[in-house]
């Protein structure tokens, strides 16, 4: 178990180094980041001065060395627009994102898992068909548009819910639904297909031979096994959530790291974007590591291997 975690940790660190290097070199090789920050009619001296301030005048390997050294000290550069360290900007916004993500996951699980189970148990029935329709629609509707549609219906037409910004509980409803819907279809499809497979297995037959109640057979013996593939795909879901948060927070003017990413893009704030990508990678990799540990807990074949 310890070896397994250490192995995963090492993999994560390697991946992080890879991502950081790619971000660095993509930034330097596709143009000079300084030009992104300057107006087009800037004088040559001003440009040179900025390049020097940003440390972009040395040879590439030297710049990379400085970048790595600073990164190890927790310094990923200054945001141009906010005039504050990019790391600081990220961490001041992070809590706002973390305030909605768990609710979105909870919503997706609360809807997706039971719906997937019931759809699998009544294969071909009306619930299964309804679930199928939700799955198909869930993939086809762009989530940013769904958010706007929700605002139109619930804020503009009905006036029930606020259309954006942080605030009381009612402010959470629409962003959480938008972000959660993003996951529901995927969750449900996965649970349904793995539940179908599990319920046909011999150990489910044995559980029934024992005379266990059908609810115990389904929710204890069936679901626990059916959730294993869901956990293995968790990494993909986390990635989806992080990208989903970008559009969701943009639509609802939610001051989290997603909105920060959007701002970095539209204001061409390269140092900020670079920092945000690296920090988000760390976030994704840590969550993945947690899930791997949870996975080992659920599946003894991994834990005891």
Partner 1 sequence: MNTQTVLEVRNLHTHFFLRRGIVKAVDGVSFTLARGEVLGLVGESGCGKSVTALSIMRLLPRGGARTIQGQIWLDGTDILTHTPRQMRDVRGRKISMALQDPQTSLNPVFTIGAQLREALMRRLRAAQAAITQAAIAALRAVDIAAPEQRMGQYPHQMSGGMKQRVVGAIAISGHPDVLIADEPTTALDVTIQLQYLKLLKRLQQDTNMAILFITHDFGVVARMCDRVAVMYAGRIVECGKVTDVFAHPSHPYTKALIASVTKLKGSSGRLPTIEGQPPSLMDIPIGCRFAPRCPHAEQRCRDIYPPSFPINDTHTADCWQLAPS
Partner 2 sequence: MRRAPWIPIVIMFVILVMAVFAPLLAPYSPIDQTLHDKLLPPVWVDGGSMKYLLGTDAFGRDILSRLIYGARVSLIVAALALTAGGGVGLLIGIVSGYVGGTTDAVLMRMVDAAFTFPAILFALLLAVTMGQGLGTLVIAISLLLWASFARIIRGEVLALKQRDFVALAQVRGCSSARIMITHILPNVLNIFMVLITLNIGVVIIAEASLSFLGAGVPPPTPTWGLMISDGRGRIADAWWISLIPGIAITLLVLSVNLFGDWLRDRLDPRLRQL
**What is the sign of the dihedral through the CA atoms of 44, 49, 50 and 56?**
positive
Q: List CB contacts of 84: < 8 A, sequence separation 6 or more.
A: 78
Burial of 259 (0-12, 13-18, 19+ CB in 10 A): buried
What DSSP character marks residue 85?
E
Residue of 54, 101, 174, 273 interacting with partner 2 (CB under 8 A): 273
Residue of 14, 214, 253, 266 interacting with partner 1 (CB under 8 A): 214
Q: List CB contacts of 82: < 8 A, sequence separation 6 or more.
A: 89, 269, 272
Query: Is 208 a binder of partner 1 (CB under 8 A)?
Result: yes
CA distances to 54, 55, 226 from 51, in Å: 5, 6, 55
Q: List the single partner that 96 binds among partner 2, partner 1, none, CB under 5 to 8 Å by kind.
A: none
Nearer to partner 1, 50 or 199 (CB): 199
Q: List the single partner that 92 binds among partner 1, partner 2, none, CB under 5 to 8 Å by kind.
A: none
CB 284, CB 16: distance < 8 Å? no
Residue of 66, 210, 266, 290 interacting with partner 1 (CB under 8 A): 210
Residues interacting with partner 1, by CB under 8 A?
A: 123, 199-203, 205-214, 221, 224-225, 228, 298-301, 304
Residues interacting with partner 2, by CB under 8 A?
A: 15, 18-19, 22-23, 26-27, 30-31, 33, 36, 136-137, 139-145, 148-149, 151-152, 156, 163, 193, 235-236, 239-240, 242-243, 246-247, 250-251, 261-262, 264-266, 268, 270, 273-274, 277, 280-281, 284-285, 288
């Amino acid at each position: 178990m310890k070896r397994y975690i250490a192995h995963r940790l090492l993999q994560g660190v390697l991946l992080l180094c890879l991502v950081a290097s790619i971000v660095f070199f993509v930034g330097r090789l596709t143009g000079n980041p300084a030009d992104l920050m300057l107006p087009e009619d800037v004088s040559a001296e001003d440009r040179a001065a900025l390049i020097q301030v940003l440390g972009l005048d040395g040879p590439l390997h030297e710049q990379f060395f400085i970048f790595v050294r600073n990164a190890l000290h927790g310094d990923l550069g200054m945001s141009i627009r906010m005039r504050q360290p990019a790391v600081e900007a990220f961490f001041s916004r992070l809590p706002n994102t973390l305030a909605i993500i768990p609710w979105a996951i909870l919503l997706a699980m609360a809807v997706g898992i039971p719906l997937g189970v019931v759809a699998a148990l009544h294969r071909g029935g009306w619930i299964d068909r309804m679930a199928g329709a939700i799955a198909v629609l869930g993939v086809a509707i762009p989530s940013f548009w769904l958010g706007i549609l929700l605002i139109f219906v619930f804020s503009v037409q009905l006036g029930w819910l606020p259309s954006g910004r942080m605030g009381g509980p009612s402010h959470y409803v629409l962003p959480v639904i938008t972000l959660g819907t993003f996951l529901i279809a995927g969750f449900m499809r996965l649970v349904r297909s793995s539940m179908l497979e599990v319920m046909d297995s011999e150990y489910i037959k044995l559980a029934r031979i024992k005379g266990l109640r059908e609810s115990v057979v389904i929710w204890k013996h069936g679901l626990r096994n059916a959730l294993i593939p869901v956990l293995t795909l968790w990494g993909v879901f986390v990635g989806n959530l992080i990208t989903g948060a970008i559009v969701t927070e943009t639509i609802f003017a939610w001051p989290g790291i997603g909105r920060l990413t959007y701002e970095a893009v539209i204001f061409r704030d390269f140092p900020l974007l670079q920092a945000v990508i690296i920090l988000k990678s760390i976030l994704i990799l840590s969550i993945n590591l947690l899930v791997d540990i949870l996975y080992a807990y659920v599946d003894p074949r991994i834990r005891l291997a």
